[in-house]
Amino acid sequence: MADIAHLTQLIEPEARALGFDLVRVKMFGGKSDPTLQVMAERPDTGQLTIDDCADLSRRISDVLDALEAEGKDPIEDAYRLEVSSPGIDRPLTRPQDYTNWAGHEAKITLIDKIDNRKILTGDLVGIDGDKVTIDVRGYQPMTVALDQIHDAKLTITDRLLAATAPLSSDGADEFEEVSDDTDSNDNHALSEGQK
């Protein structure tokens, strides 16, 4: 599997060049359907349009294709490239996400159980240093270190929908673009995340 830290170092400058913040770089799908997922957002809207996704997809493809031509392909096998905005039920991947979305419901999956719990669902209180606090529904507030979190994402609630209502739904339809470069070993796809 590809080195995510290395891919992030390659992709982040491309996102920044377009004025976007990188939210997540992730490989999934295993050997059967390897997919490089890139989530980014405009800092002012928290989303991307389809044109934004297409622009970022082209920039990423150009960088990865150039590395492949030099024999330095960071992803060995054929794969699909998926570029999207994070959507309403966005993943919480950066420390500032826990501040920006404090007061909203989230689901946090831990690496190891704490207080006999591996999944914490409740309202985010915020972050202090590297410690995230969540008011676990039906239990009590719990504080966990960022490095104890395996996965975290917002939960769609009426409150979250109201908070994101000003966001545009333009470009919310899925769009797929397959590279016509027959010399390339990768199969790139582009999709816009659900808003």
List pLDDT tens digits, range 94-128.
999 999 999 999 999 999 999 999 999 999 999 99
DSSP per residue over 171-187, as a string?
T-S--------TT-S--
Residues 18, 62 contacting (CB under 8 angstroms): no
Q: What share of the chain is helix, strand, coil (3-state, %, to 5)?
A: 25, 30, 45
pLDDT band, residue 31 (cuts 50/70/90)? confident
* Cα separation, 126 vs 114, whole angstroms: 18
**Model-level pTM?**
0.76
Residues 134, 142 contacting (CB under 8 angstroms): yes
157: Cβ contacts below 8 Å, ≥ 6 apart: 104, 105
| Tens of pLDDT, residues 34-88 | 999 999 999 988 889 999 999 999 999 999 999 999 999 898 888 999 999 998 8
DSSP conformational letter for 163: H
Residues 127, 95 contacting (CB under 8 angstroms): yes
Report CA 174 to chain centroid distance, whole Å.
16
| Tens of pLDDT, residues 166-190 | 555 555 444 444 444 434 333 334 4
Longest dimension (CA), the chain: 56
Residue 41 forms beta bridges with which residues? 21
CB count in 10 Å sphere of residue 158: 7
* Cα separation, 73 vs 71, whole angstroms: 6
Alpha helices in 135-174 (DSSP H): 158-164
102: Cβ contacts below 8 Å, ≥ 6 apart: 124, 125, 126
